[in-house]
Amino acid sequence: MTHRRALLALAAAGLTLPRLAAAQPAAPDPRLTERSVGKADAPVTVIEYFSLTCGHCAAFHRETWPQVKRELVDTGRVRVIFRDFPLDQLALAAAGLARSLPPERYEPFISALFATQDRWAFSRTADRKEELWKLAAVAGMDRETFEQALVDAQLQRAILEQRVKGQQEHNVNSTPTFVFGSRVVPGNIAFDRFAAIVAETR
Protein backbone atom coordinates (compact mmCIF):
# COMPACT_ATOMS: atom_id res chain seq x y z
CA MET A 1 0.00 0.00 0.00
CA THR A 2 1.38 3.41 -0.93
CA HIS A 3 1.83 6.14 1.67
CA ARG A 4 -1.11 8.12 0.21
CA ARG A 5 -3.42 5.11 0.18
CA ALA A 6 -2.39 4.26 3.76
CA LEU A 7 -3.36 7.76 4.91
CA LEU A 8 -6.72 7.48 3.12
CA ALA A 9 -7.34 4.13 4.80
CA LEU A 10 -6.60 5.61 8.22
CA ALA A 11 -8.93 8.53 7.55
CA ALA A 12 -11.72 6.18 6.43
CA ALA A 13 -11.33 4.26 9.68
CA GLY A 14 -11.59 7.47 11.69
CA LEU A 15 -7.94 7.34 12.73
CA THR A 16 -5.25 9.96 12.44
CA LEU A 17 -1.50 9.90 12.76
CA PRO A 18 -0.12 11.46 15.97
CA ARG A 19 0.99 15.04 15.52
CA LEU A 20 4.77 15.37 15.73
CA ALA A 21 5.92 17.49 18.66
CA ALA A 22 7.72 20.68 17.76
CA ALA A 23 11.44 20.62 18.39
CA GLN A 24 12.16 21.89 21.87
CA PRO A 25 15.26 23.92 22.73
CA ALA A 26 17.84 22.04 24.72
CA ALA A 27 17.37 22.38 28.46
CA PRO A 28 20.11 24.30 30.26
CA ASP A 29 22.81 22.14 31.78
CA PRO A 30 22.02 22.02 35.53
CA ARG A 31 25.73 21.67 36.27
CA LEU A 32 26.23 25.23 35.05
CA THR A 33 23.63 26.89 37.24
CA GLU A 34 24.81 29.32 39.87
CA ARG A 35 26.46 27.86 42.94
CA SER A 36 25.97 29.98 46.04
CA VAL A 37 25.33 29.94 49.78
CA GLY A 38 23.27 32.35 51.83
CA LYS A 39 19.84 33.90 51.63
CA ALA A 40 18.78 35.18 48.22
CA ASP A 41 17.66 38.46 49.82
CA ALA A 42 20.83 39.01 51.86
CA PRO A 43 21.74 42.73 51.86
CA VAL A 44 25.24 42.06 50.49
CA THR A 45 26.25 39.68 47.70
CA VAL A 46 29.91 38.71 47.36
CA ILE A 47 31.31 36.87 44.34
CA GLU A 48 34.39 34.73 44.88
CA TYR A 49 36.56 33.75 41.92
CA PHE A 50 38.83 30.86 42.81
CA SER A 51 40.99 28.07 41.45
CA LEU A 52 40.97 24.73 43.23
CA THR A 53 44.75 24.42 42.81
CA CYS A 54 45.43 27.91 44.20
CA GLY A 55 47.27 27.83 47.53
CA HIS A 56 45.96 31.28 48.53
CA CYS A 57 42.39 30.14 47.81
CA ALA A 58 42.97 27.06 49.96
CA ALA A 59 44.32 29.21 52.79
CA PHE A 60 41.23 31.42 52.67
CA HIS A 61 38.89 28.44 52.73
CA ARG A 62 40.75 26.75 55.55
CA GLU A 63 41.39 29.77 57.77
CA THR A 64 38.74 32.39 56.97
CA TRP A 65 35.80 30.84 55.17
CA PRO A 66 34.41 28.92 58.19
CA GLN A 67 34.10 32.21 60.12
CA VAL A 68 32.67 34.05 57.11
CA LYS A 69 30.05 31.34 56.72
CA ARG A 70 29.21 31.19 60.41
CA GLU A 71 29.09 34.91 61.17
CA LEU A 72 28.09 36.51 57.87
CA VAL A 73 26.40 33.92 55.67
CA ASP A 74 24.44 31.85 58.18
CA THR A 75 23.22 35.03 59.91
CA GLY A 76 21.67 36.30 56.67
CA ARG A 77 24.01 39.25 56.18
CA VAL A 78 25.88 37.94 53.13
CA ARG A 79 25.24 35.75 50.12
CA VAL A 80 28.34 34.30 48.44
CA ILE A 81 28.38 33.27 44.79
CA PHE A 82 31.15 30.90 43.73
CA ARG A 83 32.76 31.37 40.32
CA ASP A 84 35.29 28.96 38.84
CA PHE A 85 38.55 30.49 37.66
CA PRO A 86 40.78 27.45 37.05
CA LEU A 87 44.47 28.23 36.67
CA ASP A 88 45.46 24.87 35.21
CA GLN A 89 44.09 21.63 33.79
CA LEU A 90 43.92 19.91 37.17
CA ALA A 91 41.86 22.76 38.65
CA LEU A 92 39.58 22.58 35.61
CA ALA A 93 39.04 18.84 36.14
CA ALA A 94 38.30 19.35 39.83
CA ALA A 95 35.86 22.18 39.03
CA GLY A 96 34.02 19.85 36.64
CA LEU A 97 33.72 17.24 39.37
CA ALA A 98 32.37 19.79 41.85
CA ARG A 99 29.74 20.95 39.39
CA SER A 100 28.70 17.37 38.68
CA LEU A 101 27.49 17.00 42.25
CA PRO A 102 24.04 18.20 43.38
CA PRO A 103 24.14 21.93 44.21
CA GLU A 104 23.76 21.35 47.96
CA ARG A 105 26.96 19.28 47.96
CA TYR A 106 28.99 21.82 46.00
CA GLU A 107 30.28 24.03 48.82
CA PRO A 108 31.13 21.13 51.18
CA PHE A 109 32.99 19.43 48.33
CA ILE A 110 35.12 22.43 47.36
CA SER A 111 35.89 22.95 51.04
CA ALA A 112 37.05 19.33 51.21
CA LEU A 113 39.18 19.84 48.09
CA PHE A 114 40.82 22.90 49.62
CA ALA A 115 41.37 21.12 52.94
CA THR A 116 43.18 18.24 51.20
CA GLN A 117 44.80 20.25 48.39
CA ASP A 118 48.34 19.17 49.28
CA ARG A 119 47.34 15.53 48.89
CA TRP A 120 45.56 15.58 45.52
CA ALA A 121 47.08 18.63 43.82
CA PHE A 122 50.70 18.92 44.91
CA SER A 123 51.92 15.54 46.13
CA ARG A 124 54.57 14.16 43.77
CA THR A 125 53.85 10.57 44.69
CA ALA A 126 50.06 10.51 44.89
CA ASP A 127 47.79 9.23 42.13
CA ARG A 128 45.90 12.50 41.63
CA LYS A 129 42.96 10.92 39.87
CA GLU A 130 42.46 8.34 42.60
CA GLU A 131 42.77 10.97 45.32
CA LEU A 132 40.06 13.00 43.59
CA TRP A 133 37.95 9.87 43.28
CA LYS A 134 38.20 9.20 47.02
CA LEU A 135 36.88 12.69 47.77
CA ALA A 136 34.16 12.46 45.13
CA ALA A 137 33.02 9.08 46.44
CA VAL A 138 32.73 10.45 49.98
CA ALA A 139 30.59 13.26 48.52
CA GLY A 140 28.25 10.64 47.04
CA MET A 141 29.40 10.55 43.42
CA ASP A 142 29.35 7.24 41.55
CA ARG A 143 32.32 6.11 39.47
CA GLU A 144 30.56 6.50 36.12
CA THR A 145 29.68 10.13 36.81
CA PHE A 146 33.25 10.73 38.01
CA GLU A 147 34.82 9.30 34.86
CA GLN A 148 32.43 11.15 32.56
CA ALA A 149 33.00 14.49 34.29
CA LEU A 150 36.75 14.22 33.77
CA VAL A 151 36.40 13.94 29.99
CA ASP A 152 33.37 16.17 29.43
CA ALA A 153 34.74 18.74 26.98
CA GLN A 154 31.47 20.68 26.87
CA LEU A 155 31.44 21.13 30.64
CA GLN A 156 35.09 22.17 30.71
CA ARG A 157 34.56 24.64 27.89
CA ALA A 158 31.66 26.22 29.78
CA ILE A 159 33.80 26.57 32.92
CA LEU A 160 36.55 28.24 30.91
CA GLU A 161 33.98 30.59 29.39
CA GLN A 162 33.01 31.58 32.94
CA ARG A 163 36.65 32.38 33.60
CA VAL A 164 36.81 34.61 30.52
CA LYS A 165 33.60 36.33 31.64
CA GLY A 166 35.19 37.05 35.00
CA GLN A 167 38.15 38.65 33.29
CA GLN A 168 35.87 40.78 31.13
CA GLU A 169 33.33 41.81 33.78
CA HIS A 170 35.52 42.23 36.84
CA ASN A 171 39.08 42.33 35.47
CA VAL A 172 39.97 39.19 37.42
CA ASN A 173 43.58 38.14 36.82
CA SER A 174 44.47 36.28 40.01
CA THR A 175 42.86 34.09 42.64
CA PRO A 176 41.20 34.44 44.94
CA THR A 177 39.39 37.60 43.87
CA PHE A 178 36.31 38.86 45.66
CA VAL A 179 33.69 41.22 44.25
CA PHE A 180 31.77 43.23 46.87
CA GLY A 181 29.15 45.09 44.86
CA SER A 182 31.24 47.19 42.49
CA ARG A 183 34.46 46.79 44.51
CA VAL A 184 36.95 44.17 43.34
CA VAL A 185 39.40 42.94 45.99
CA PRO A 186 42.09 40.40 45.07
CA GLY A 187 43.96 38.21 47.52
CA ASN A 188 43.47 36.06 50.59
CA ILE A 189 41.41 38.36 52.83
CA ALA A 190 41.46 37.96 56.61
CA PHE A 191 38.08 37.81 58.30
CA ASP A 192 38.25 41.28 59.89
CA ARG A 193 38.94 42.93 56.54
CA PHE A 194 36.29 40.82 54.81
CA ALA A 195 33.70 41.85 57.39
CA ALA A 196 34.77 45.49 57.20
CA ILE A 197 34.34 45.56 53.42
CA VAL A 198 30.93 43.92 53.78
CA ALA A 199 29.93 46.66 56.23
CA GLU A 200 31.00 49.30 53.69
CA THR A 201 29.15 47.66 50.79
CA ARG A 202 25.76 48.98 49.81
Q: Which pLDDT score is estimated for 7?
A: 41
Task: Map out the domains of the chain with their CATH numbers.
Answer: 34-200 (3.40.30.10)
The whole-number mean pLDDT for each consecutive block of 10 residues of the chain, a chain of 202 residues, reads 44 44 62 95 97 98 98 98 97 97 97 97 93 97 97 96 95 97 96 97 86
Residues 6+ apart with CB under 8 A from 175: 49, 50, 51, 54, 56, 57, 85, 87
Backbone angles phi, psi at 101, to 5 degrees: -90, 160
Q: Which pLDDT score is estimated for 25?
A: 52
Helix (H, G, I), strand (E, B) or coil at 177: strand
**pLDDT one-digit tens code per residue, 89-107:** 999 999 999 999 999 999 9
Q: Which pLDDT score is estimated for 28?
A: 80
Q: Which pLDDT score is estimated for 8?
A: 46
Q: Which pLDDT score is estimated for 29?
A: 87
What pTM was computed for the model?
A: 0.84
**pLDDT one-digit tens code per residue, 37-72:** 999 999 999 999 999 999 999 999 999 999 999 999
Q: Which pLDDT score is estimated for 121?
A: 96
CA dihedral 170, 171, 175, 177 (to 10 degrees): -40
State the burial class of residue 168 (Cβ atoms within 10 Å of its Cβ: 0-12, 13-18, 19+): exposed
Q: Which pLDDT score is estimated for 133?
A: 97
DSSP code of 50?
Answer: E
| Counts of helices then strands in the chain (DSSP H, E) | 10, 5
